[in-house]
Chains A and B, each alone.
Chain A
């Protein structure tokens, strides 16, 4: 048996069938008659539930069937001879349908011979075509049930009622499992075929159990508690119950007990066998443990998220992985991940001993497993794994030589995979370089938050340590963070500046600020800059100074040329481009920033044009370096001035408050006027709308305009010296609408895009008159978050807020399921080297990937940008 053929075998078919009593007895190693497990000495009882022939789980004992020890012995089935047959719960549906389709007297299928022949022909045709026989078989059941008199023996058929959980009642008389079994036994093989079963592998009477297979002990291992007491598996408990009742049944029947008692015991046996298979059948009280916990029986083991299929087979726990909370560290490269030392000590990488690394690996072994760059295990050439301990480390370091493998601890520079769930796109798992750091969290550069969709409010992430050279090579070529800066979803950068990076660059580059030499060096100290450019000018005392644009230019690659309107662009009718008076047109010429302001459009994740251009023109490494540099520069830049926000920043002048109140009062009057015209039936309905819809729309419009107007007042009050405005305009965080809501007016609350109308009859709250259509009665919040909301406003705000929460919950679950279905449908499709998309059999799905064969990350948004540039460079003429 030691030469197992390595030829892969092809599964040609899988057959499912019912297990026959004969088969159960044949595969059984022993009949189980004792309801006990262990004797007083703790030794398994012969013919008991822990019989040594069923396999062993205690170390040291040998299996009496196969002779192997615990761990090697796969376990063997036993059986229990049931004193009386019982119904198998799992087949209730089929038993019911079969009972109704056969004669109560002669067990013949209740169909005319010609009909039967017809159905048989249909079935064989379906089988031939490889289709499912289900529709035809359902037809058989339907037809047979209609027959009232048996066409073979002339017996009148009675209605059979199924009563939960396992009872069949025929015309008021309860059918015992024995009776059902007798009827099924008499069905001819031909009829069985018409009923959709294969008589050789599934006879209907096998759905009624006469003998119960007892699963091996390896399936239901007992555990020894600390107190030395044994605790048995739920299945064992259930089997004990079955054997006990079975014995009592036998004794009572042998003693000639009255029919009533026999029936009760039969029912009890049925209950225990039922709950052995499924403890959650409706109509059956679940069998409980002494503590009151329902037992986990066979069905419960398989079913559900933590069941065998979803929990153990499709989803597995994995070795060489770690999980902890993430926190930010802008000084790390985007390609790095900070790993806590406590994790680095646990995780290992196997390294084969060769001439060149012998000394190094010996050193790791000598450091042991407690001091960081150490080693935890060595593997001898014969495959034995030896743990490195304080005692044996010197000896092992001495012995290690070529051919050994040392499992050394994780170190700086090792390639690992980093992942955050839900893993929705390929950027959810990327390869990072390890950087071992103190403390207990994974650290990552905040610029890689967008692809993982991570934040630091307690998010946890997983790390997987790659174990082979091949996997490390593959991961660093395909999965490294820098290789994923551009997302194939839209061809632009998905990694880029967020929050403070954007505000920081905005503050640094916006004005012609004076930066002294010391400050300049401080800003650029983490970037590898060796020289400062010509100063922008000299102060009165002769000291040179630079401006923010020059500082930013230092981290740009040489020869970069880009022009684009910034996020702060006012979208004037005719763009003045370079001469933009708002400093909102960025011009970068030959790696030198000449004009404009750096904001979200330039470096932001999803939008950053400069990041995009650098990656596409200079490659991923330059792109990663640029992102590393600007995150560091931005953090230092923002620290130069500081950026904070408090309630004081929402303060507006008294006149502005008055203006806002005026605007809102005017809107209120406007609404009242609309309602008056509506009630006087003077309002003209809009085309295609009813009068009611028209008034709603007009009121919404009026109120919306009023809110926008208050927003404008706030916008005029708070200029670019306000930190919230800086963040909103630069695209770092928040919007002017957020600011309006904080400082001026929260605005209309809505449910499904309409003003709030639900609540009491004819009104939203008892505070208002019935039929009041006014602004405040229908959820318009006049107050600002700063001034505070009135009780009714607060209530309406809660209604609107709740809808938002429900929406997000529903959307995530729906899109999650859609994603799952798509992934399952498309997982085997692959783009081949010839550009076609094929599935596993080589059948073509697309003759050219995406019709055009374009890799969006390599394309300039499907425009021939480079050609335009070349034409421009040669002819000096702009083409577009």
Chain B
């Protein structure tokens, strides 16, 4: 489906998320996004950004304008939520 490197090596053959250092990324649904925007009283543009050509974004197939929710492991908080806006 998506190939990152020229030469056609298919990335689908290995999953980025198999690596324990890569936290869970998921595309935020419209409802959840609304509640997040409301919770932080922000516009979309005020999210931290992530580029569309980031391997993780390509893997989950998010498109420009989507917001991804990242669930990171944290030493002190066990789980930390983070949101990033996909940009060009």
On A, residues with C-beta under 8 Å from B are 834, 836, 838, 841-845, 847-848, 850-854, 862
Contacts and interface: CB of A to CB of B under 8 A. Distances in A.
Contact of A854 (B46, B76, B81): B76
Interface string B35-66: 00000111001111000000000000000000
Given A836-B40, A844-B40, A851 B46 contact: no
Contact of B46 (A834, A842, A848, A850): A842
A604 to B, nearest CB: 26
B46 A847 contact: no
Contact of B80 (A841, A851, A862): A851
A645 to B, nearest CB: 44
B15 interface: no
Contacts of B76: 850-852, 854, 862
A851 B80 CA distance: 6
Contacts of A848: 77, 80-81
Contacts of A845: 48
A292 B47 CA distance: 61
Given A834-B40, A836-B40, A843 B77 contact: no
A831 B42 CA distance: 15
- B interface residue count range (under 10 / 10 to 19 / 20 to 34 / 35 or more): 10 to 19
Q: Of A838, A844, A851, which is in contact with the most chain B CB atoms at under 10 Å from its CB?
A: A851
B39 to A, nearest CB: 8
Contact of B48 (A844, A850, A851, A853): A844
Interface in B69-88: 72, 74, 76-77, 80-83
A841 B40 CA distance: 14
Nearest to A850: B76
A843 B74 contact: no
Contacts of B42: 842, 844
Nearest to A852: B77
A847 B81 contact: yes
B80 A843 contact: no
29 contacts: A834-B40, A834-B41, A836-B40, A841-B46, A842-B42, A843-B45, A843-B46, A843-B47, A843-B48, A844-B40, A844-B42, A844-B46, A844-B47, A847-B40, A847-B80, A847-B81, A847-B83, A848-B80, A848-B81, A850-B76, A851-B76, A851-B77, A851-B80, A852-B74, A852-B76, A852-B77, A853-B77, A854-B76, A862-B76
A844 B47 CA distance: 6
A150 B39 CA distance: 66
B82 A847 contact: yes
A745 to B, nearest CB: 43
Q: Of B46, B72, B74, which is in contact with the most chain A CB atoms at under 10 Å from its CB?
A: B46
Q: Of A844, A845, A853, which is in contact with the most chain B CB atoms at under 10 Å from its CB?
A: A844
Nearest to B84: A844
A203 to B, nearest CB: 38
Contacts of A854: 76
Contacts of A843: 45-48
B80 A852 contact: yes
A838 B40 CA distance: 11
B25 to A, nearest CB: 15
B70 to A, nearest CB: 10
Nearest to A843: B46
A851 B74 contact: yes
Given A844-B42, A847-B81, A851-B74, 6 more contacts: A842-B46, A847-B40, A848-B80, A852-B74, A852-B77, A862-B76
B55 to A, nearest CB: 23
Nearest to A848: B80
Q: Which 9 A-B pairs have the closest CB atoms?
A: A852-B77, A851-B80, A852-B76, A851-B74, A851-B77, A843-B46, A842-B46, A847-B82, A844-B46
Nearest to B39: A834
Nearest to B83: A847
Contacts of B77: 848, 851-853
Nearest to B76: A852
Contacts of B48: 843-845
A543 B20 CA distance: 72
A852 B77 CA distance: 5
Nearest to A839: B46
Contacts of B82: 847
Contacts of A844: 40, 42, 46-48, 83
Contacts of B81: 847-848
A836 B76 CA distance: 17
Contacts of A862: 76
A490 to B, nearest CB: 14
Contacts of B41: 834
B49 to A, nearest CB: 9
Nearest to B73: A851
B72 to A, nearest CB: 8
Contacts of A851: 72, 74, 76-77, 80
A125 to B, nearest CB: 15
A199 B65 CA distance: 40
A854 B82 CA distance: 17
A828 to B, nearest CB: 15
Nearest to B82: A847
A138 B48 CA distance: 34
Contacts of A838: 46
A429 B22 CA distance: 41
A795 B77 CA distance: 54
Nearest to B47: A844
Nearest to A841: B46
A854 B76 CA distance: 9
Nearest to A838: B46
Contacts of A841: 46
Nearest to B41: A834
Contacts of A852: 74, 76-77, 80
A744 to B, nearest CB: 44
Nearest to B78: A852
B80 to A, nearest CB: 4
Nearest to A846: B82
A802 B51 CA distance: 50
A847 B48 CA distance: 10
A830 to B, nearest CB: 14
B43 to A, nearest CB: 8
A862 B83 CA distance: 25
A572 B76 CA distance: 31
Contacts of B47: 843-844
A844 B45 CA distance: 10
Contacts of A836: 40
Nearest to A853: B77
Nearest to B45: A843
